[in-house]
Amino acid sequence: ADGLWAYQLAVVVDDGFQGVTHVVRGADLIDNTPRQILLQRALGLPTPAYMHIPLVLDKDGNKLSKQTLAPAIDRSRPEEEAARAWAHLGFKPFAFDTLDEFYSEAVRRWRTRFQISA
Protein backbone atom coordinates (compact mmCIF):
# COMPACT_ATOMS: atom_id res chain seq x y z
CA ALA A 1 0.00 0.00 0.00
CA ASP A 2 2.92 2.36 0.58
CA GLY A 3 4.27 1.86 -2.94
CA LEU A 4 7.49 0.21 -1.81
CA TRP A 5 8.86 -2.67 -3.86
CA ALA A 6 10.02 -4.58 -0.76
CA TYR A 7 6.57 -6.12 -0.23
CA GLN A 8 6.48 -7.52 -3.77
CA LEU A 9 9.99 -8.93 -3.40
CA ALA A 10 9.22 -10.48 -0.02
CA VAL A 11 6.06 -12.16 -1.34
CA VAL A 12 7.82 -13.57 -4.39
CA VAL A 13 10.79 -14.91 -2.44
CA ASP A 14 8.56 -16.36 0.29
CA ASP A 15 6.26 -18.07 -2.24
CA GLY A 16 9.27 -19.47 -4.10
CA PHE A 17 10.87 -20.74 -0.89
CA GLN A 18 7.63 -22.43 0.16
CA GLY A 19 7.03 -23.96 -3.26
CA VAL A 20 3.65 -22.24 -3.70
CA THR A 21 1.95 -23.51 -6.86
CA HIS A 22 -1.45 -21.76 -6.65
CA VAL A 23 -2.41 -18.34 -5.30
CA VAL A 24 -6.08 -17.52 -4.62
CA ARG A 25 -6.69 -14.00 -3.37
CA GLY A 26 -9.09 -11.10 -3.57
CA ALA A 27 -9.67 -9.25 -6.81
CA ASP A 28 -8.37 -6.08 -5.14
CA LEU A 29 -4.85 -7.56 -5.33
CA ILE A 30 -4.91 -8.32 -9.05
CA ASP A 31 -2.60 -5.40 -9.85
CA ASN A 32 0.17 -7.03 -7.77
CA THR A 33 0.20 -10.12 -9.99
CA PRO A 34 2.12 -8.71 -13.00
CA ARG A 35 4.73 -7.18 -10.69
CA GLN A 36 5.20 -10.46 -8.89
CA ILE A 37 5.43 -12.45 -12.13
CA LEU A 38 8.09 -10.02 -13.40
CA LEU A 39 10.10 -10.51 -10.20
CA GLN A 40 9.67 -14.30 -10.35
CA ARG A 41 11.05 -14.36 -13.88
CA ALA A 42 13.94 -12.06 -12.98
CA LEU A 43 14.84 -14.30 -10.03
CA GLY A 44 14.37 -17.54 -11.95
CA LEU A 45 11.53 -18.66 -9.69
CA PRO A 46 8.49 -20.62 -10.87
CA THR A 47 5.27 -18.70 -11.42
CA PRO A 48 2.25 -20.05 -9.55
CA ALA A 49 -1.21 -20.19 -11.09
CA TYR A 50 -3.17 -17.13 -9.96
CA MET A 51 -6.88 -16.73 -9.29
CA HIS A 52 -8.56 -13.58 -8.02
CA ILE A 53 -11.95 -13.97 -6.37
CA PRO A 54 -14.69 -11.41 -5.70
CA LEU A 55 -14.48 -9.36 -2.54
CA VAL A 56 -17.12 -9.46 0.13
CA LEU A 57 -18.67 -6.01 0.32
CA ASP A 58 -21.04 -4.29 2.70
CA LYS A 59 -24.31 -2.66 1.59
CA ASP A 60 -22.40 0.53 0.65
CA GLY A 61 -19.87 -1.34 -1.51
CA ASN A 62 -16.99 -1.19 0.97
CA LYS A 63 -14.67 -4.18 1.32
CA LEU A 64 -15.23 -6.19 4.47
CA SER A 65 -11.92 -6.62 6.25
CA LYS A 66 -10.14 -6.05 9.54
CA GLN A 67 -8.99 -2.68 8.23
CA THR A 68 -12.59 -1.54 7.71
CA LEU A 69 -13.61 -2.92 11.11
CA ALA A 70 -16.01 -5.43 9.57
CA PRO A 71 -17.84 -7.60 12.05
CA ALA A 72 -16.48 -11.10 12.55
CA ILE A 73 -18.32 -14.07 11.14
CA ASP A 74 -20.60 -15.99 13.47
CA ARG A 75 -18.30 -18.71 14.79
CA SER A 76 -21.21 -20.51 16.44
CA ARG A 77 -22.56 -21.49 12.98
CA PRO A 78 -19.50 -22.41 10.88
CA GLU A 79 -21.46 -24.62 8.47
CA GLU A 80 -23.82 -21.76 7.64
CA GLU A 81 -20.94 -19.31 7.17
CA ALA A 82 -19.09 -21.75 4.89
CA ALA A 83 -22.23 -22.16 2.76
CA ARG A 84 -22.64 -18.37 2.52
CA ALA A 85 -19.03 -17.92 1.42
CA TRP A 86 -19.45 -20.71 -1.14
CA ALA A 87 -22.52 -19.03 -2.62
CA HIS A 88 -20.70 -15.68 -2.70
CA LEU A 89 -18.06 -17.28 -4.92
CA GLY A 90 -20.80 -18.17 -7.39
CA PHE A 91 -21.14 -21.87 -6.62
CA LYS A 92 -24.45 -23.68 -6.32
CA PRO A 93 -25.33 -24.86 -2.83
CA PHE A 94 -25.16 -28.52 -1.88
CA ALA A 95 -26.23 -30.55 1.13
CA PHE A 96 -23.73 -31.42 3.86
CA ASP A 97 -23.84 -32.19 7.55
CA THR A 98 -20.31 -31.42 8.79
CA LEU A 99 -17.52 -29.06 7.85
CA ASP A 100 -15.40 -32.04 6.81
CA GLU A 101 -18.13 -33.04 4.35
CA PHE A 102 -18.38 -29.46 3.12
CA TYR A 103 -14.65 -29.08 2.53
CA SER A 104 -14.36 -32.45 0.81
CA GLU A 105 -17.17 -31.66 -1.63
CA ALA A 106 -16.16 -28.01 -2.06
CA VAL A 107 -12.61 -28.98 -3.01
CA ARG A 108 -13.92 -31.52 -5.52
CA ARG A 109 -16.26 -28.95 -7.10
CA TRP A 110 -13.58 -26.23 -7.06
CA ARG A 111 -11.12 -28.49 -8.88
CA THR A 112 -13.75 -29.47 -11.43
CA ARG A 113 -14.82 -25.88 -12.10
CA PHE A 114 -11.28 -24.59 -12.52
CA GLN A 115 -9.85 -27.77 -14.05
CA ILE A 116 -7.26 -28.31 -11.33
CA SER A 117 -5.84 -31.81 -11.05
CA ALA A 118 -5.49 -33.38 -7.62
Question: From CA 23, how far away is CA 60, in angstroms rounded?
Answer: 28
| pLDDT, tens digit (0-9, with 9 covering 90-100), for 82-118 | 999 999 888 999 999 999 999 999 999 988 988 877 6
| pLDDT, tens digit (0-9, with 9 covering 90-100), for 4-59 | 778 899 999 999 999 999 999 999 999 999 999 999 999 999 999 999 998 888 88
DSSP string, 19-51: T--EEEEEGGGTTHHHHHHHHHHHHTPPPPEEE
Tell me the domain boundaries of the chain.
1-62, 72-118
2: pLDDT confidence band, cut at 50, 70 and 90?
A: low
Is the pLDDT assigned to residue 1 strictly greater than 80? no
Question: From CA 93, how far away is CA 29, in angstroms rounded?
Answer: 27
pTM tops 0.85:
no
70: number of Cβ within 10 Å: 14
CATH number of 1-62: 3.40.50.620
As a whole number of Å, the CA-based R_g of the chain is 17
Q: So what's the pLDDT on residue 66?
A: 87
